Structure formats: C-alpha cells, structure tokens
C-alpha cells in the first residue's frame, strides 16, 4: 500500500500524540453536547471511549472526522491541526471510521464497497477516468486486486460479488471495518463495533480488530458499551458523562474510579 | 407489415431522443435525489446550439454535435454550481422550485435572443435508402447509432470506472462518501456534466428530425423524457432507457394506428396505469441500484 502523496503523515510524525483533543466544546443550538474535552491517544495505542447514552461519544467522532466543526477547541492529528477541515481531506490524512448503525453502500457489492474506499489513494483525475486512459486502467486493476486481497485476508473473499446488504449482520460489521481500513488510515475510529453481537461473535470481532491493527499498524479509538470488550482490549480508556471527561487512564484505574461508578450505577458504592 | 416496421424505426428514433434526455433526469436524481426540471431546457439549448453550429458557424455534423454537447455540458455544470449547490442542504422543494426557475430563465433568455422560431437546414446529406421496403433516412440512422454509442459510453463510465463507482456510492449513501476520500462536489458536478452533455446531443438529434425550433420545445419533450425515467424507475439508468423506448413506441404506434390526437392521451394514461401497479417504475425497486 503506497501513501497518497505528501499529505499522508507517517505514524510517528510530530513525535507526540497520534490524536489530541484540546478543550473541545460543541453546541447543538442551545444544547451543550461536549464541554472542554481534553484527551490524547498515543500512536499505536488501542484506546476506548465509554460513557452512558447521550454522553457525547459519537459527537467526538463526528468532530474528529469533520462532520461537525467544534464550537471551541482544537483537534490535532499527529501534530497537525485538523479542526474544521473537510471530511474527505481528513480521510486523506489518514483517519477512517465506522458507524454505530452500519452504513455500507447497501446496494453495491462487497468488492465495490472496498474499492470505493480506495478513492483517497488513487491519483487519477476525473477526466482521465472518463477517457479510460492506460494509467487509469492499470490503477483500476491494482485497486481491484488490493481490494480482493484485503477481503481474502479477512475472511470475506467468498462474498466479494455479493450485494452487501445481503450479508449476515456480523459480516456487514466486518466489511464496514475493512472498508475503513481500505482508505489506508493510521488512525481508525470504531463506533460500537460489537453492537448487537452475541458473546461468541464479540470474541471473534476482538481478534479481528487486533489482527487488523497489527497488519495495518493502526492506532485504534473505539466507542463501546460492551465492558468486556473495552476492558479486555483497551490499554487506555476515556470516560465521558454529560459531555465531560470524568476519567482518563488504564482499565484498572477507570474501573476503580468513584466518578465512573457514580455515572454508571447512580451512586458511589 | 412493412408499415409496422417503418413505424418501429420511427419509434426507435423518437425513443433514442427521449432516452438521451431521460438519462440526465435519472442520473441527477440518482446522486442528489432531486429532479432537475431545467433539464428539458438544457435540451432546448442543445437544439439552439445546433442552429448556431449549422447556420451561423456553418459547421458539419460532428463538430455541431460536439459544440452542442460541450455547450450544454458547461451550462449544466454552471447551473449546478450557481443554482443547486448552495441549496444542497436546503429542503428538497427549494432545489426543485429553483430548477423550475432556471428552466423559465433559460426559455426566456433564449426567447430574448431569438424571438422567432428558427429553421435548421439539414446538417447531413438528406437521403433515404431502402432496407427491405422500409425507408431509412440518414437522420434516423445517425440518431439511433449515435445514441447507442453515447449510452454504451455512459454505461461503461458508470459501471467500469472509479468515477462511476463514486457516483453509485453517492447514490447509495451520500453522507459517508467523503469518508472514503471521495470529493463529492466534483463527482456531482461530473454527473451534471454527463447528463447535460447527453441532453445537448439529444437537442441535435431532435433538431434533425423536427427542424423548426423555438425556446419552448424543451417543456413538453422534457416532460416526456421525465416520464420515461419514471416509467423505468427514476434513478435507474437502464430503466430510463427502457422507459424511453417504451414511451417512444407507444406514441408512434398510437399515432400510426389511431387518430394522432390520441397520442399524448394514450401515453399519459399508460403512465398513470403503470404507476398504480408499479409505483417505483418498471426496474426501480424501493431500494434499487441507482445512478
């Protein structure tokens, strides 16, 4: 996989954190969804965001990926400020994501879903594509091969030609994650990857994510409700409640935090 | 029987013109879920560019065709940029009403430049040859074959190139396409370019068959092409072509075997009946493959 030109930053660039949120506040009209959120994710880390419903977890993802622009604060990716940049540029810099409710291109094939995600890395201009130049054709061929190979390696090779909405639920989840990986990110954001899965599937998903992380040298930030998954996988956990970070640390530290207990159980035991 | 085949040829000619225009409606609907009602007027501008090419610039057929396609392509891209893009996130009705406004603007802008109907002399050597009793004119041959080539080219772009893949992806879920690194605005502009270019070509084809043009020809032809797209299932490319040939056939055959005043009555009745039984059109499903 080649890096898409000079936009792409190597995982270690800037020396410091892979991702840093500095005093990020976001309002929806009069509703304050996030207030003064600060946290950082180190390169190569597998970090998790947890918190009750409505705590602002998905809003954090939407701000990082440029779906919203934060009202106040800065988002820094490998030392470079990305606050307010366009989604497609943020994708090019190397951040990819999945969604809480799976959002595949439902009517396209499994293969086309992954091929579409290669867009950021293809260097052919639209006119060339229209006239189907030789360079374009070889580019297309390379992308198709890479996409097939990716599906092959992660157990979806047999479904490449299927319309993606016809896949079983668990496979749709995995396809969405693979599609994100196909944009060649250094940071991947997973929004409740285990939602709606039974314990056996969660187990499989965990090893799937770890394998992907290893093969692509990814930094992973995930939102999850399944405590087993978060505590079992994440070395770093950020707890959000009512739009504020109430705890930030390792699993042990977070588990024993009084504020976290209060947010989850209603009182400090 | 010869009479029937003669009419079938006429139907193929009319259907080809409808198909080229219907593709513009269906492609824009596919990526934006919006009906561009100015598209019929884009077609009209194509017919007027045909006049400019033939009469003013005295060009031959292929340059005239390229002029009309290029001119209408630019018109389509400019309209999208100026009139539709600012409304991308406004309620759907705003963009649709804007498109009606753009259409009326184009009609009257053209009327301002050309207050009287224009006659376009034949741009191709006008002769017919006999194929088993059926008389085939050079215009018919040119219309049918060029439409076929353009539609084949469009099919290849949509299904075989990454630009086409991006269009299909936008059609499936526009919201997440930027997260694939796809420049959505560029792809939407390109979709307008393709659809408008085909509309421009249709203008030339139409002007060859009906050489007296005025600024209002785009209204009824535009409606018919729009109906073709709806019959086939709007948003569906193959559906638009199928619907266009069906409508062309119904119109020509009605005129051939019934009093010709029944033509539009039969055509529009067909639409109403079809929509009762197939509200998403012939090839459209509630979630069909769009663009």
DSSP state of A109: B
pLDDT-based confidence at residue B288 (cuts at 50, 70, 90) = very low
CB contact under 8 A, A119 and B190: no
Residue A5 lies in a domain: no
Of A87, A105, A183, the CB nearest to B173: A105
Query: Has residue A2 got a pLDDT over 50?
Result: no
CB contact under 8 A, B162 and A119: yes
Residue A230 lies in a domain: yes
State residue A269's pLDDT score.
Answer: 45
Residues of A in contact with B179 (CB under 8 A): 65, 87-88, 91, 96-97, 180, 183
Q: How far is B162 from chain A (nearest CA, A)?
A: 7
Residue A3 lies in a domain: no
Q: Which of A64-78, A160-174, B118-132 has the lowest mean pLDDT?
A: B118-132
Rounding to the nearest 10 degrees, give the CA dihedral for residues A232, A233, A236, A238: -80
Residues of B in contact with A105 (CB under 8 A): 168-169, 172-173
Residue A6 lies in a domain: no
Q: Give the pair of three-digit tokens for residue B34.
A: 């919006």
CATH number at residue A254: 3.40.50.300
Chain B residue nearest residue A92, CA to CA = B181
**Mean pLDDT score across all residues of chain B:** 91
d(CA A62, CA A68): 6
Query: Number of folded domains in chain A?
Result: 1
> Across-strand partners of A25?
A72
Tell me which residue range forms the domain holding A19: 15-265
pLDDT-based confidence at residue A9 (cuts at 50, 70, 90) = very low
d(CA B291, CA B288): 10
Q: How far is B35 from chain A (nearest CA, A)?
A: 21
Residue A123 lies in a domain: yes
B273 closest CA partner among B237, B236, B246: B246
Chain A residue nearest residue B183, CA to CA = A88
State residue B135's pLDDT score.
Answer: 87
Of A119, A130, A143, the CB nearest to B180: A119
Q: State the best of A99, A106, A126 to mutate against chain B, taking most chain B CBs within 10 Å.
A: A126
Query: Has residue B194 got a pLDDT over 70?
Result: yes
Alpha helices in B258-290 (DSSP H): 263-277
Q: How far is A205 from chain B (nearest CA, A)?
A: 22
Query: Has residue A127 got a pLDDT over 70?
Result: no
Residue that the structure tokens 């019959």 belong to: B231
Q: Give the pair of three-digit tokens for residue A223.
A: 């939102």
Residue A2 lies in a domain: no
Is A28 exposed, middle or buried, given 0-12, 13-18 or 19+ CB atoms closer than 10 A? exposed
CB contact under 8 A, B178 and A183: no
Residues of A in contact with B287 (CB under 8 A): 106-107, 165
Residue A101 lies in a domain: yes
Q: Does residue B285 belong to the interface with chain A, where contact is any CB pair within 8 Å?
A: no
Residues of B in contact with A87 (CB under 8 A): 178-179
Residue A58 lies in a domain: yes
The dihedral built from the CA positions of residue A239, A243, A246 and A248, taken in this order, carries a sign that is positive
Q: Which of A15-29, A128-142, B131-145 has the lowest mean pLDDT?
A: A128-142
Determine contact, residues B51/B118, Cβ cutoff 8 Å: yes
Q: How far is A117 from chain B (nearest CA, A)?
A: 5
pLDDT-based confidence at residue A6 (cuts at 50, 70, 90) = very low
Tens of pLDDT, residue by residue over B253-280, are 999 888 888 988 988 888 899 889 988 8
- Residue A218: in which H helix or E strand, if any? none
CB contact under 8 A, A115 and B162: yes
State residue A201's pLDDT score.
Answer: 87
- The pairing of strands A46-50 and A219-223 is parallel
The dihedral built from the CA positions of residue B55, B58, B59 and B60, taken in this order, carries a sign that is positive
CB contact under 8 A, A124 and B162: yes
CB contact under 8 A, B163 and A130: yes
B213 closest CA partner among B64, B48, B103, B68: B48
Q: Does residue B181 belong to the interface with chain A, where contact is any CB pair within 8 Å?
A: yes
Residue that the structure tokens 């759907």 belong to: B92
DSSP state of B261: G
């Amino acid at each position: 996989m080649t890096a898409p030109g000079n936009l792409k930053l190597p995982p270690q660039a800037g020396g410091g954190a892979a991702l840093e949120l500095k005093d990020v506040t976001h309002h929806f009209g009069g509703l304050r969804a996030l207030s003064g959120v600060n946290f950082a994710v180190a390169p190569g880390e597998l970090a998790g965001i947890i918190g009750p419903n409505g705590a602002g977890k998905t809003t954090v993802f939407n701000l990082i990926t440029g779906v919203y622009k934060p009202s106040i604060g800065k988002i820094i990716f490998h030392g470079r400020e990305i606050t307010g940049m366009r989604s497609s540029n943020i994708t090019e810099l190397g951040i990819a994501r999945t969604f809480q409710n799976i959002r595949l291109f439902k009517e396209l094939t499994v293969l086309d879903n992954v091929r579409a995600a290669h867009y950021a890395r293809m260097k052919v201009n639209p006119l060339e594509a229209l006239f189907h130049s030789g360079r374009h054709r070889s580019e297309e061929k390379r992308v198709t091969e890479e996409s097939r190979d990716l599906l092959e390696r992660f157990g979806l090779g047999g479904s490449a030609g299927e319309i993606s909405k016809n896949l079983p639920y668990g496979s749709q989840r995995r396809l969405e994650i693979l599609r994100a990986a196909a944009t060649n990110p250094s940071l991947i954001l997973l929004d409740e990857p285990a939602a709606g899965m039974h314990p056996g599937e969660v187990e499989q998903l965990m090893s799937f994510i770890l394998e992907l992380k290893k093969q692509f040298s990814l930094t992973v930030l995930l939102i999850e409700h399944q405590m087993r998954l978060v505590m079992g996988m994440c070395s770093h956990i950020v707890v959000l409640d009512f739009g504020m970070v109430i705890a930030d640390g390792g699993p042990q530290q977070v588990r024993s935090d009084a504020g976290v207990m209060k947010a989850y159980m209603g009182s400090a035991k | 029987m010869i009479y029937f085949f003669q009419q079938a040829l006429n139907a193929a000619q009319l259907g080809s013109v409808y198909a080229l225009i219907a593709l513009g409606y269906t492609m824009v609907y596919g990526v934006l879920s919006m009906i561009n009602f100015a598209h019929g007027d884009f077609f009209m501008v194509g017919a007027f560019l045909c006049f400019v090419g033939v009469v003013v610039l005295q060009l031959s057929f292929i340059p005239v065709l390229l002029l009309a396609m290029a001119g209408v392509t630019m018109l389509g891209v400019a309209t999208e940029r100026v009139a539709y893009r600012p409304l991308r996130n406004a309620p759907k009705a705003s963009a649709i009403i804007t498109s009606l406004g753009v259409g009326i603007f184009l009609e009257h802008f053209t009327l301002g430049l050309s207050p009287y109907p224009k006659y376009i002399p034949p741009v191709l050597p006008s002769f017919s040859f006999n194929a088993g009793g059926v008389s085939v004119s050079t215009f018919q041959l040119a219309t049918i074959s060029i439409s076929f080539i353009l539609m084949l080219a469009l099919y290849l772009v949509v299904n075989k190139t990454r630009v086409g893949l991006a269009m299909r992806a936008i059609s499936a879920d526009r919201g997440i396409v930027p997260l694939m690194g796809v420049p959505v605005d560029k792809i939407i502009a390109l979709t307008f370019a393709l659809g408008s270019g085909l509309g421009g070509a249709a203008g030339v084809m139409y002007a060859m068959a009906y050489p007296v043009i005025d600024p209002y020809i785009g209204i009824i032809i535009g409606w018919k092409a729009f109906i073709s797209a709806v019959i086939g299932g709007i948003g569906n490319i193959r559906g638009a072509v199928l619907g266009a040939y069906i409508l062309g056939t119904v119109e020509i055959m009605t005129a051939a075997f019934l009093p010709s005043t029944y033509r539009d009555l039969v055509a529009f009745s067909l639409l109403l009946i079809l929509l009762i039984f197939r509200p998403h059109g012939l090839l459209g499903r509630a979630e069909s493959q769009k663009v």
